[in-house]
Structure 1
Amino acid sequence: MNATAIVEFRAHLLVASLIATLLQGLVIGGMLVLEMPEAWFTSSVFRAASICVVVAGVAVVRYVAAVAFWGAHRRGHLSLDAAGHNLIAISDMCPYAQLVLLHVRLNRRRYGVVV
């Protein structure tokens, strides 16, 4: 397994774990504030719904990162490598640099920072 595949897997796992953490916070809040029974959260329906929420959340984050990437490309904040090395240069002035970097990591591309 090459290094770019490992970076891609780690980025997907990071996004999925952050979404799962938010979901867990909602479950704890539901148990404490709304006094929902604990048995409801251990059912197979809830587990299936949780998996669907995490997968849909990862898809939404990928979409938002892709929109930020192509928006930065249109505004000239990044340049794509024409030589076919799959290298991307990200400007320091890019307002959505973190989302662009997330898109790059989710799609196995190498990147560099240009001043």
Structure 2
Amino acid sequence: MKQTTVEMIRAHVVTASVAATAIDVAVVSLLFFCKFPESMFETASFRVLTFTLLLAAVLATRHAAHIAFRAAIRRRHARFVGPREDAVCVSSLCPARRLVILHLHFTGMPYVPVNRTGW
């Protein structure tokens, strides 16, 4: 597999695992603090709901990262570099730098660290 493909898969899996952790914290909170029965979380409808929440979290994160990337390009915190201008360099002063880099990982665009470009 190509390195960019591995990074794309990894970005999606890490995002989904963070969302799953948040869902798990919510379920444990409902079990202990609100005294919901455990059998409620063993149903097929709960599994479908959990899958839907995971999918929504990944899509929402992708959307937020895309918006941050467009804003970084517009405000010149990110720019295309390289001979074919296919890689992206993100300024260390970019306020949403991590989201912009996450967008690059989601889409498989090559990312060039700032210290290599001198920017």
Same fold (TM over 0.5): yes
Partner in structure 2 of residue 44 of structure 1? 44
Partner in structure 1 of residue 54 of structure 2? 54
Moved over 3 A (4+): 81-85
Count matched residues: 115
Partner in structure 2 of residue 113 of structure 1? 113
Q: Assess if the C-alpha contact under 8 Å between 1:92 and 1:113 holds in 2.
A: no
**Distance in structure 2 (CA, Å) of the matches to 1:85 and 1:48:** 42
Partner in structure 2 of residue 18 of structure 1? 18
Provide the TM-score with structure 1 as the length reference: 0.95
Note the residue ranges of structure 1 that are not aligned, 5 or more in a row.
Answer: none
**Distance in structure 2 (CA, Å) of the matches to 1:81 and 1:107:** 17
Q: Secondary structure at the match of 1:104?
A: helix
Q: Assess if the C-alpha contact under 8 Å between 1:89 and 1:111 holds in 2.
A: yes
1:113 Cα shift?
2.8
Equivalences for 1:23-38 in 2 at 5 Å? 23-38=23-38
1:81 Cα shift?
3.8
**Distance in structure 2 (CA, Å) of the matches to 1:13 and 1:92:** 26
Deviation per residue, 1:6-44 (Å, 9 max, x gap) = 010001000000000000000000000110000000000
Partner in structure 2 of residue 88 of structure 1? 88
Name the Cα RMSD after superposition: 1.2
Provide the TM-score with structure 2 as the length reference: 0.92
Q: Secondary structure at the match of 1:57?
A: helix
Identity among equivalent positions (%) equals: 30
Determine whether 1:75 maps to 2:75: yes
